[in-house]
Each structure stands twice: as C-alpha cells, then as structure tokens.
A and B are shown apart, each in its own frame.
Chain A
C-alpha cells in the first residue's frame, strides 16, 4: 500500500496536527489517514484538474440521448474570479480596485503577496488589483473548480505604451519547473476571448498585438501548457489577474 515507511507518514501527520490534542490518536492510528498524507505529499502543480474540451458534453449528450442544452449554458459564470467590473471607466489617476465579489478576499495572499504589491505600488505610484479566488462558498460552486495546488507563484504585470507599441511587462516569481511550459495570455473578463502572447519569456516583455483593445482583453493569464502542439489554452491556469486603468 505504501511506497515508503508508514512511520514516516505518522511523523508527517504529527507535524501537521501540531500540538497534540485529545482525539488525535484516531488520526494517527488510521491507515487511511496515513495513506492520505502519503498521497498529499505527491500532489504538485501538474496535478491541477483540467477542464474537458468544449465539445465533449455535446457528444455525451447526443450518445446518451439527452438534451444538450439547458439554461445554464447561457448563464455567465457565476464564480468568475476576475471581477473587473464597470468601474474601470473611472477617470485616470485614481486608484480603481477590482471588486472583490461577495466575500472578502482570503487574507493569505495579502500576506504572501504584500511585498509584491508594495513594490508595485511604489514602482508605479498607483495600484490595483484584486481577484477573488473564491467568492462563492456554496458547495456546488466550489465543486467543479480547477484547483492548482502547492503553487507558490506570484506575479505582477503592467501594460506599458512605448512609442509605437504596447508592451505587457510581466514579472513572475515562484513558478516551478514543469513537464511542459508556461504561456502568457490576455483574456476577456468573461473568458469568451483569448489571445496568446506566447511562451513565458525570461525578459518578461510581451508585445501586445497592434490595435488590440486592452480594455476588453483586460485579464492577464499564465497557463501550464503541455508540449502537445495544440495551440489552444490548456484550461490549466496558474496565475491570473485583471488589468485596471491607472
């Protein structure tokens, strides 16, 4: 059952549980719990769930003889984490934070990314981002989420106008080596349009296609792509944030 010594997992589990509490023996003496620790140790960024390709449901519905369509198709994604809302038409110069959705953003990234944020604020004199990574606490809502685990990645981006070109400057940190490569995209907030800016580059500079409406393609996305020659987005995003007018 175990690849390694069960005692190793018991130690790991003790670490996880911290200060012993009454009832911990039930955890420590449970083979399933030890197997859980073993399996969790193996989980990495490559294990993020992938969305099935768009046409697959239609094929299943057809073969099963059920209706392909339902009203939910037309419904916009309720959990859209990039909530670049209509406030982006605010006049320049002011700070225009993205709406955070129903709840407050989980505080963890504020700590994890505080340094990034401070640098960003100091560097450009205005700030602004926020994407809510889980505004909907309802069970179904969280059910079909794409989870990216164990990622310590952080990033910041700015769109810069230089003479004749517009350049996206992207600074990422903490991306782990993967079996595949990272690709940079601009998306619409509704995720109904996307433009590849190419594989992640060490210089962090991505020329934006001439004439592209960056107020429409206002979300920067970094994805994990397999070397499969498929030019489409893998559906496997690791970083994302909505651009806000300064």
Chain B
C-alpha cells in the first residue's frame, strides 16, 4: 500500500540541513552597498550579516583550497581579518570581493605553510618561485564567485541562463519550455551575462 508519494525537485537554493548557523533576516532586505557601509562603520550586526551573505562562498572556497581539516579555521581567520582591518576597507568597493580577496590570501598562506612542512619532511628545498598555485586559486575563486553570483540573480533570469548554458537550448526552445516571450529570454540572457560579468570584474579589481 502506498502511503505517500512525491516528486523530487532539483535543489537550486534554500536551506540545507547544516545551515543553522545562518541567520535569516526575514523580510528585512539589506542591500549590499548598505551592508558594505555598515561593515566599514564597524556595526557588529554587519559582521553577522556579512557572514550570512558570504560565509558559504568563503567556506566553499576554503574547502577547495586547503585541507578539509583547515577549512573551518581559514574561514574563521578570513572573517576575523576582514573585521579587524575594516578601517582599510573602502565601502565603495564590493564587500564580497574584498572578503574573498582576504580568503585567497589566507588560503595561499596555508598552502605555502603546508608546502614548507612537506619540504622539511622530505629534506628538499623549494627554490623555484611557483605562481601556478596563485593562478589556480584565482580561477577557483572566480568560479565560486560566479556560482554565488548566479544564486543571487532573480530566479527567472537564473533559470533562463542555466537553460541556455548548461542545457544548450536555443532561445526559442527556452521560450517554449519556460512559457516566456522570446524577447524576455533574450533580455534575461544579456542582462544575466552582464550581471555575472560585473561580479567577475568586481572580484578582480
């Protein structure tokens, strides 16, 4: 006897089981420029909001950049460093990009420390300056910034963009599937790309 039945939908967003550390500000929407200003001004609540907004991005980056056991620590170091040096933060620049920049610095540091430990262990010397880790990390961070940016697009725009990019559908196919006018699809794709581009540029100023 069937008791219950469901269909499962792809989880495009929404809280996952381990999100209890996240706050939800309900209907209170704090635009990013306001958050940036409040963070720079040293409002304690702004640290919490910055963590809520960028914690997943930083943590996900750390998980990929350092050993799993260090990811928590590097995430913590990142937010502490951002908070302590907030008077050096220019709130006219994107707060997320600034925090991600600190995270990249901390990750590289941790990678170098781990490399030194390895070198000592094997009694070898690293004499060649290697900028490959920096480039790899830059690329990784850009990718995570884009994943985050995609998540912040309006739902319909994000869906159109994902259909175009990941499903390789043509504009008319997307329009039909989503029951949208063709012009709307075209506009979502152009505006969505432009928005992602701005995030990417903001992360690399």
* A185 part of interface (Cβ distance < 8 Å): yes
Given that A32-B201, A72-B25, A237-B16 are contacting pairs, would A214 and B3 also be in contact in the complex, using a CB cutoff of 8 Å? yes
B56 & A150 in contact (Cβ 8 Å cutoff): no
Given that A50-B60, A59-B76, A113-B9 are contacting pairs, would A27 and B150 also be in contact in the complex, using a CB cutoff of 8 Å? no
For the complex formed, measure the closest distance between the CB of B204 and the CB atoms of chain A, giving whole angstroms.
8
Given that A120-B5, A214-B3 are contacting pairs, would A146 and B21 also be in contact in the complex, using a CB cutoff of 8 Å? no
Q: How far is the CA of A30 from the CA of B15 in the complex (A)?
A: 36
**Which A residues lie within 8 Å of B44 (CB)?**
66-67
Q: How far is the CA of A146 from the CA of B165 in the complex (A)?
A: 19
Tell me which of A21, A53, A161, A243 contacts B1 (CB under 8 A): A161
**Which B residues lie within 8 Å of A126 (CB)?**
5
For the complex formed, measure the closest distance between the CB of B164 and the CB atoms of chain A, giving whole angstroms.
6
* A133 part of interface (Cβ distance < 8 Å): yes
A133 & B11 in contact (Cβ 8 Å cutoff): yes
* Interface residues of chain B: helix, strand, loop or mixed (majority): helix
Interface flags, A207-227, vs B, CB<8A=1, else 0: 000000010001011110010
For the complex formed, measure the closest distance between the CB of B114 and the CB atoms of chain A, giving whole angstroms.
18
A43 & B19 in contact (Cβ 8 Å cutoff): no
What class of interface size applies to chain A in its complex with B? 35 or more
**Which B residues lie within 8 Å of A130 (CB)?**
9
Q: How far is the CA of A21 from the CA of B146 in the complex (A)?
A: 25
Tell me which of B24, B163, B200 contacts A72 (CB under 8 A): B24
* B18 part of interface (Cβ distance < 8 Å): yes
Please provide the chain A residues from 118 to 145 with a CB less than 8 Å away from any CB of chain B in the complex: 120, 124, 126-131, 133-134, 137-145
B79 & A159 in contact (Cβ 8 Å cutoff): no
Please provide the chain B residues from 126 to 172 with a CB less than 8 Å away from any CB of chain A in the complex: 139, 142-144, 146-148, 150-156, 159, 162-167, 170-171
**Which A residues lie within 8 Å of B28 (CB)?**
140
B1 & A191 in contact (Cβ 8 Å cutoff): no
A60 & B6 in contact (Cβ 8 Å cutoff): no
B156 & A106 in contact (Cβ 8 Å cutoff): yes
Q: How far is the CA of A18 from the CA of B179 in the complex (A)?
A: 18
* A197 part of interface (Cβ distance < 8 Å): no
Tell me which of A78, A140, A243 contacts B4 (CB under 8 A): A243
Given that A36-B193, A52-B75, A235-B19 are contacting pairs, would A222 and B14 also be in contact in the complex, using a CB cutoff of 8 Å? no
Q: How far is the CA of A148 from the CA of B196 in the complex (A)?
A: 16
Given that A142-B154, A191-B17 are contacting pairs, would A77 and B24 also be in contact in the complex, using a CB cutoff of 8 Å? yes
B165 & A16 in contact (Cβ 8 Å cutoff): yes
**Which B residues lie within 8 Å of A131 (CB)?**
9
Of A39, A117, A223, A245, most B-chain CB atoms within 10 Å: A39
For the complex formed, measure the closest distance between the CB of B62 and the CB atoms of chain A, giving whole angstroms.
9
A-B contact pairs, 12 of them (CB 8 A): A33-B197, A39-B139, A51-B22, A56-B75, A59-B76, A60-B47, A72-B25, A113-B7, A137-B155, A144-B55, A161-B2, A241-B6
By Cβ-Cβ distance, the 10 closest A-B pairs, closest first, are: A145-B13, A72-B23, A155-B8, A81-B14, A134-B155, A235-B18, A147-B151, A158-B5, A241-B8, A150-B166
